[in-house]
Chains A and B, each alone.
Chain A
Amino acid sequence: MKSLILSTCTRMLMPLILILSVFVFWRGHNEPGGGFIGGLLAATAFALVEKAEGLEAAKRALRFRPQSIAAFGLGCALVSGVWGGLQYGYFLKGVWPFITIDAEGNKHGLPFGSIFLFDLGVYFVVLGTVCGILFALEDVVSREADVEED
């Protein structure tokens, strides 16, 4: 049940939603947003593709196996924890190597560090898991529909 309108809109919307999700994720530490929300938003984008253009298209759009993405996310979170552990001796302690704080307590530099990596892990875990279940569900449902039709 492909719909031309939905399909066309999706092609335009999908990159926008993805960019929005990365943006929401990026600013999450200082403005509303973050890994959970960004990940859910990205998953919504792929769900949209899946509904509009089918399972195969969504799988192509995602490029990697969703389970691998989730595992990569969990790995990121673990690495960030170990990073803090190696640096300060506390697992998951925040490390900000590119930020310096001046005398007034204002910070300068790139907001990239172990906490950023951790949030990135959350992003990928949510994205990978939701997409994984979605694809598996759709896969099984469509196959069983075929079986019934036979």
Chain B
Amino acid sequence: MGALAEGISVTTTQAGAGPWRLIPAAAAAAATLWFAGFVGPVSHGEIPEYVLPWVPMLGIDFAFRLDGLSLAFALLICGIGALVFLYAATYFRSDRRLGSLLLTLIAFAISMLGLTVADDAVTLFVFWEGTTVTSWLLVGFDHEREKSRAAALQALLVTGMGGLALLAGLLIMGGMAGTYRLSEMNAMGEMFRASGLYPLIFVLVMLGCFTKSAQWPFQFWLPGAMAAPTPVSAYLHSATMVKAGVYLMARLTPALGGTDLWIWTLVPVGAFTMILASVWAMRQTDLKLMLAFTTIMGLSVITMLLGVSTPEAAVAAMTFLLVHAFYKAGLFLSVGMIEKGAGSRQYPEVAGLAAAMPLTTTVIALAALSMAGAPPFFGFIGKEVIYEAAGHAPVLPLFVAGTALVANALMIGCAGMVAIRPFFFRPRRSPRDMPADPGWGLWLGPAILAALGLFCGLFPGTVDHALVAPMVHAVTGAESPAHLALWHGIGAPLILSLVTFALGGCLYLLLDPIRDRLAAAEPSLPRTEAWYDAALVGVAAIAGALTGALQNGRMTSYLRWTFLTLGALIWLALFVGHGTWPAFTLSREIMDWAIFVIIVVSIVMVLRTHSRLTAITALGGVGSGIAIIFVLYGAIDVAMTQLFVEILVVIFLAIAMVRLPPTGAMPFKVGNALVAAVLGLGVFVVQLSVLGTDLDLFMTVFFEQSSVPSALGHNIVNVILVDFRGFDTMGEISVVVIAGVASIAALRAGRRTLR
């Protein structure tokens, strides 16, 4: 990777990148083929697994598992990835940032791939966060623009928060299940659903999914993320990152799905977000932004269908997932083609381009027909199965069908907007004088995707057998109840489709008045983004106030807080812990009392005196008194060390002190004295309670037994220092040297400026 980056940084200095720019696309294409090799086995029920131990004692592994759902996602990620990499390599051909863009895209693709094939909750979370971070880099790709940075940060914060909630949820699940394997958790669905912690887990996991997949009230970050370059939007916001949320919902359906809470959260939220997003899509004039809103709509449809929790709904959700991935990636890339070819992607600025850009027109038309759900495209099948699922919904079938119908009609309006308005019925307009189709590197990807929409519509049985049925099996744990077909016979779904076309047609014709009304109403409507903004301002204000109070730049304040916290912790430990108080009698030895008095008097002198010399002498008294204690109680080495250090401390203080000004009077400070008293009293009581516990002398006895036989030394203290714990001493003398070097450096720093 390093060598690759180096090579890129060298080549990007020249205008126009070399053939290396096609390597990522080729690699992704190869990965696609590799994964395609699994389609046969997986559709026959095989599930390849791969486990690499990571933290075995915690039961966390790099576990990967390729069931139908994971395989479909892996194919989407690698396949669309190959097309997007090719597109990006052409789109940014003469941009010197191409190398970094491709590298980030690859990192993103790997994260996304890992996320979808992971079978370990912690592994999944690591890759989940990987997509969050890399998408932050990608959305903020134009980092010179403040708008890009703000959008990237917003996406990062919203999805990052969700990621933290998700981690908490997954850890609770892992703790309850005793395993972090998602496949094993999914087998324990009964246990999760019956548990009292279920609502908590549900809320935490859904926070992760809803933020990632831009469900209300977190939908606002996705349109903002359109600050990203077109290839990035096509990749992140069609097939991959935003689908991570719905992927996880589908993945955890066996473990968490089907409860009232699940149904009554996912269905209303999905339906509401769906209507909201498709209405606002009508409002947009920027084609890419409009596609962003329809992406939210697509995700909401899947969310709602997963909420419905019937096998039919699972079929619909998985089918629509594929439908949406094909047409949305194709449309995003096509809008990029308009932008490259005609110089803008704003609707009124480009119009009547059909004659000048026939290829772009064809590709967009194909993708948009799939989006509108016209037969014989894959989108038509997707819509049929949604209506079919709505009819089987256990709750509110009319509501589900009705909202889906309205949203689909709005989609038809949007499809018309993106496919008709820029191309037909108007005189040619474009910022560029000679609009023309872009080169093969740009049209190949969208063309393949649009063609896939048509192919899947014509051969639904193949797709059903290879992808949809294994996906449904992974979600529901049962065989797929329905088979995809273009012609379902005359029934409710077909009638609903016809109604949708009629309504959608009307909406397209009324597009301009609707847009004007929405634009007029926009400022007065409540926006969830305002909540986010308010929360950000609030957090900043609280952080500012806290920082101002705690980090006020005053050393004494820091010390007071530190000592207060220390004292509080000590007292907390005393009250929470189980201290035992031994019965101590006061010493009768005159020697003990003499030393005690010497030290106490010295302490008082240090505190009371105004003379520095007296203070230093008294400090020496404290140290010497302690040295005598060491001598009396058998620590001769320690006592000698203490004495010599005492001598050296006095010498050092004396040298430095001569040059420092007198300290001056120190007024008694009640607050500081109180803090000090609380701390000192705590230390006293803790020391007593420590003496009341049983002392494990295992190590001491070991040293006493083995000092001579195995280390050939009779002074046990020295043997411990240089032999048994020699490694510690090694570190300690290193610290001493470092302290010396630092001191000398501090002393000599700036000496020259003084002269």
Chain A contact residues, CB within 8 Å of chain B: 24, 28-37, 40-41, 43-44, 47, 51, 67, 70-71, 73-74, 77-78, 81, 91-92, 94, 96, 99, 105, 107, 111, 115, 118-119, 121-122, 125-126, 128-130, 132-134, 136-141, 143-145, 147
Do B722 and A115 touch across chains, with their CB atoms under 8 A apart? Answer: yes
Tell me the smallest distance from the CB of B70 to a CB of chain A, in Å: 46
B586 CB within 8 Å of chain A: no
Do B712 and A140 touch across chains, with their CB atoms under 8 A apart? Answer: no
Do A35 and B722 touch across chains, with their CB atoms under 8 A apart? Answer: yes
B727 CB within 8 Å of chain A: yes
Do A115 and B715 touch across chains, with their CB atoms under 8 A apart? Answer: no
By beta carbon, the residue of chain A nearest B741 is: A67
Tell me the smallest distance from the CB of A74 to a CB of chain B, in Å: 6
Render B710-737 as a binary contact track against A, CB cut-off 8 A, 1 for contact. 0111110111011100110110011011
Do B718 and A33 touch across chains, with their CB atoms under 8 A apart? Answer: yes
CB < 8 Å neighbour of A81 from B641, B652, B726, B755:
B726
By beta carbon, the residue of chain A nearest B651 is: A47
Do A32 and B722 touch across chains, with their CB atoms under 8 A apart? Answer: no
By beta carbon, the residue of chain A nearest B718 is: A34
Do B733 and A125 touch across chains, with their CB atoms under 8 A apart? Answer: yes
Do A140 and B640 touch across chains, with their CB atoms under 8 A apart? Answer: no
Do A134 and B652 touch across chains, with their CB atoms under 8 A apart? Answer: yes
Interface contacts beyond A43-B648, A91-B727, A147-B754: sample of 8 additional A-B pairs, CB < 8 Å, sorted by A: A29-B718, A34-B715, A36-B721, A40-B645, A47-B648, A81-B726, A99-B712, A140-B751
CB < 8 Å neighbour of A137 from B652, B714, B734, B741:
B652
Complex Cα distance, B709 from A105, in Å, reads: 8
Tell me the smallest distance from the CB of A108 to a CB of chain B, in Å: 11
Contacts of B740 in A (CB 8 A): 67, 70, 128-130, 132-133
B609 CB within 8 Å of chain A: no
Do B659 and A144 touch across chains, with their CB atoms under 8 A apart? Answer: yes
Contacts of B754 in A (CB 8 A): 143-144, 147
B743 CB within 8 Å of chain A: yes
Do B648 and A37 touch across chains, with their CB atoms under 8 A apart? Answer: no
Contacts of A132 in B (CB 8 A): 740, 744
Chain B contact residues, CB within 8 Å of chain A: 636-637, 640-641, 644-645, 647-648, 651-652, 655-656, 658-659, 709, 711-715, 717-719, 721-723, 726-727, 729-730, 733-734, 736-737, 739-741, 743-744, 747-748, 751, 754-755
Known contacts A51-B651, A81-B730, A125-B737, A111 near B712 by CB under 8 Å? yes
Main secondary structure of the interface of A (DSSP, over half): helix
Do A44 and B730 touch across chains, with their CB atoms under 8 A apart? Answer: no
Known contacts A70-B737, A92-B726, A125-B737, A141 near B658 by CB under 8 Å? yes
Do A118 and B659 touch across chains, with their CB atoms under 8 A apart? Answer: no
CB < 8 Å neighbour of B712 from A37, A47, A107:
A107
Contacts of B640 in A (CB 8 A): 24, 32-33, 37
Tell me the smallest distance from the CB of A100 to a CB of chain B, in Å: 11
- 7 A–B contact pairs at CB < 8 A? A24-B640, A32-B715, A40-B644, A74-B734, A81-B730, A115-B722, A145-B659
Complex Cα distance, B748 from A133, in Å, reads: 11
Tell me the smallest distance from the CB of B476 to a CB of chain A, in Å: 58
Tell me the smallest distance from the CB of B734 to a CB of chain A, in Å: 7
Contacts of B734 in A (CB 8 A): 74
Tell me the smallest distance from the CB of A72 to a CB of chain B, in Å: 11
Tell me the smallest distance from the CB of B435 to a CB of chain A, in Å: 73
By beta carbon, the residue of chain B nearest A138 is: B655
Known contacts A44-B648, A126-B736, A129-B739, A34 near B747 by CB under 8 Å? no
CB < 8 Å neighbour of B747 from A30, A118, A137:
A137
Do A92 and B718 touch across chains, with their CB atoms under 8 A apart? Answer: no
Contacts of A138 in B (CB 8 A): 655
Contacts of A130 in B (CB 8 A): 648, 740
Interface pairs A-B: 6 shortest CB-CB: A129-B740, A40-B644, A30-B714, A32-B636, A34-B718, A29-B713
CB < 8 Å neighbour of A40 from B648, B714, B743, B744:
B648
Contacts of A92 in B (CB 8 A): 726-727, 730
